[in-house]
Amino acid sequence: MHVFKKNSNIFHLLAESVAEGILVVNQELNIVSVNRHTLTLFNYKEEELLGKPLTQILPEKNEQVYKTFIAAKPVERQHFINNGIQTQVGLTKSGIEIPIDISFNSFNLSDRHYFLALIFDLSEKRKRLTDLQINTTAMDSALNGITISDTLKEDNPIIYANKSFEKITGYSQKEILHRNCRFLQNDDTHQLGIEEMRSAIHKGQSCRVVLRNYKKNGQMFWNEISLSPIKNEDGVLTHFVAIQNDITKRIITEQRNRQLIRIFNESDNEIYVFDGQTLRYKNVNFGARKNTGYSLKNFMKMSPLDLEPAFTERQFRNLLAPILKSAGKKIEYESSHQRKNGSTYPVEVHLQSTKVGEQCLISAVVFDVTDKKEYTQKLEKTVSERTRQLKSALLKEKELNDLKSKFLAMVSHEFKTPLSSILTSATLVGKYTNSDTQNKREKHLNTIVSGVHHLTGILNDFLSMERLEKGDDLYKFTDFSLSKVINEVLYNANMMLKTGQRINYPMNIEDVSICQDEKIVELTLTNLLNNAIKYSPERTEIDLLVTVTKHTATFDVVDRGLGIPEEDKKHIFERYFRAANILTTQGTGIGLYIIKSHIQHLGGQVTFISKQNKGSTFTVVLPIEEAFCEDRG
């Protein structure tokens, strides 16, 4: 500031303090004064520029300034000054061209005319502009939503919102700009974060809150907002920058994780995590500690082998091998856990591996299946019991069916012979019309009567068996005269007798009454006598003996007939059984079976002794206690 030093200190101060370059040239356009900023801009020392032509720093290349100012006449220069000059090229000492804005003003001093040039360094401005562009582009391409609110205007309107903010919220620039950002709140205004944010804005402080915000389509999202205040040089709050992040996914994941952690900790089922290599437990949940009795501290020194002593380490590692190979694979097995107190319980174990960095962790979910086992066992027992019952019912049903079909086959066979002899006799009776053929008529009539008895016997047996099979309790106890029943039985039996056969019947039963089921007594004696007749040859005797004591009535039927072969004796009371020696004689094989069943039901006994070709004795003992009889009251 050579020329002006003595004239104005104020000017000097001003020139040195402004941020722009100041340069003074005389009428000849030689530099007479420069400020420090100009020297810095063009990289000269003061003495290197003073006295030098203006073209030293403003080359001829600047055609406009050259033609209209440097090469112009003074009057024209004046005109030019009024218009000002825009961007030009400046030349530094080292020959580098720099963009500058330069404007000239003229003034007079001590009758001399001077020009004051104000020089603006455009390279700096451009850089700032570029920086700003970079920043704006960066802000626009940021994944976070960014808004800037102007706090100097009423209600702090948003003056900038980047693309991500549009994307996150679904609102367009037009809908966002000039509004307070509270429009993201909808009606959901009672949130702690909002209060916190309001207070931070009020105090001009930064804050970070998470709010429930709403997109244009009404969908809620968790917005994590970082608010930073911007203040001017005087410390006045001018703007707030808000960086916004849609963290809904993160929150949901966190919630899920929290839930998982809760499940892990609170589950009654046992959950263990152990290292796939060292087998050491890394963590166990509450259920595991409760069920086993070990503390977490205990567990940290243990491995699954301590809980499942049935495994050797080798076996256990073999078991783990497949899940260690491929993470995410699962295996299940049943085992037994040993508690701290030594007791054991059955468990179902589910194992799965997870890779955490280099570490392979195995999670084990363990179910105590004691109840399930007991229930299953109970169920199995019930099922097998039911199956057994069903099988036996089916068997019974089958037996009954067999029995019926066998019986039908047998009955039709057994009925054939008596029916045909009845038919023959009836036909013949019709032919004997004269009185001298009375004998023959009687013989045939006897045959008919005996045939009918025989059939009645079979039918009685059948009905009796039916009664037995049904299990109907049809016994009826009455007082009855023994001789009356025996006479009836003998009367019928006599009709069946073969030639020369005779039944010796008891004489000691007159006036003897017993209390029993009369029908069963009749059925029993009829059957036994019929057998004795059937299985004895002609001209043999049959005895019927009766012994009555206070509590029993005993009946013996003695014959002198074919007897029963030794090997058949044990089967004689079985249904349909017929001994090998009598197969040519008619019969059904159910008579003795029926007798035995009835007599056993009544608390009595039937036995026999027999010798082949000598004869048989069948003995029936029946209880006749007073208590049995309903009629006696």
Residues of this chain that interact with ligand ADP (CB under 6 A) are 527, 531-532, 535, 559, 561-564, 572, 577-579, 582, 587-593, 616
Q: How far apart are CA 531 and CA 83, in angstroms?
A: 157
**Contact by Cβ (8 Å): 342, 349:** no
> To the nearest whole angstrom, how small is the minimum distance from the Cβ of residue 578 to ligand ADP?
4
235-269: b or e for each residue (b if 16 or more CB lie within 10 Å)?
eebbbbbbbbbbebeeeeeeeeeeeeeeebeeeeb
Could you tell me the two tokens for 17?
């303090």
Residue closer to ligand ADP by CB (options 227, 465) is: 465
Residue 615 CB, shortest distance to ligand ADP, in Å, is: 7
What radius of gyration do the chain's Cα atoms show? 64
Q: Give 200 or 532: the residue with its C-beta nearer to ligand ADP.
A: 532
Taking the C-alpha atoms of residue 126 and residue 269, their distance in angstroms, rounded to an integer, is 69
- What is the enclosing helix (H) or strand (E) of 164? helix 163-169
CB of 610 to ligand ADP, least distance (A): 6
Which of 293, 500 has the CB closer to ligand ADP? 500
Kindly state the smallest distance separating residue 538's Cβ from ligand ADP, in Å. Answer: 15
Pairing label, strands 541-548, 502-504:
parallel
Alpha-carbon distance 318 to 406, whole Å? 64
In terms of CB distance, is 309 or 500 closer to ligand ADP? 500
Which residue lies nearer to ligand ADP by CB, 18 or 408?
408
Nearest distance from C-beta of residue 518 to ligand ADP, angstroms = 21
Instruction: Name which of 308 and 461 has its Cβ closer to ligand ADP.
Output: 461
Q: What token pair was written down for 264?
A: 């892990």
Q: 150 - beta bridge partners?
A: 239
Q: Cα-Cα-Cα-Cα dihedral of 107, 108, 113, 116, to 10°?
A: -30
Strands (E), 215-369: 220-231, 237-246, 270-275, 281-284, 330-338, 344-356, 359-368
Q: How far is the CB of 404 from ligand ADP (least distance, A)?
A: 18
The label of the residue with tokens 């495994």 reads: 311
Question: For residues 184 and 165, what is the distance between their CA atoms, to the nearest angstrom?
Answer: 11
- Which is nearer to ligand ADP, 162 or 464 (by Cβ)? 464
In whole angstroms, how close is the CB of 562 to ligand ADP at the nearest point? 5
d(C-alpha 632, C-alpha 624), whole Å: 13
Smallest distance, ligand ADP to C-beta of residue 469, A: 16
Contact in structure between 618 and 536 (CB atoms under 8 Å): no
- In the complex, the smallest distance separating the C-beta of residue 517 from ligand ADP, rounded to whole angstroms, is 19
Shortest spacing between CB 428 and ligand ADP, in angstroms: 27
Q: Which is nearer to ligand ADP, 184 or 582 (CB)?
A: 582
Which helix (H) or strand (E) segment is 196 a member of?
A: helix 192-203
Q: Which of 292/597 has CB closer to ligand ADP?
A: 597
d(CA 212, CA 214): 7
Of the pair 594, 624, the CB lying nearest ligand ADP is at: 594
- The single-letter DSSP state of residue 66 is I
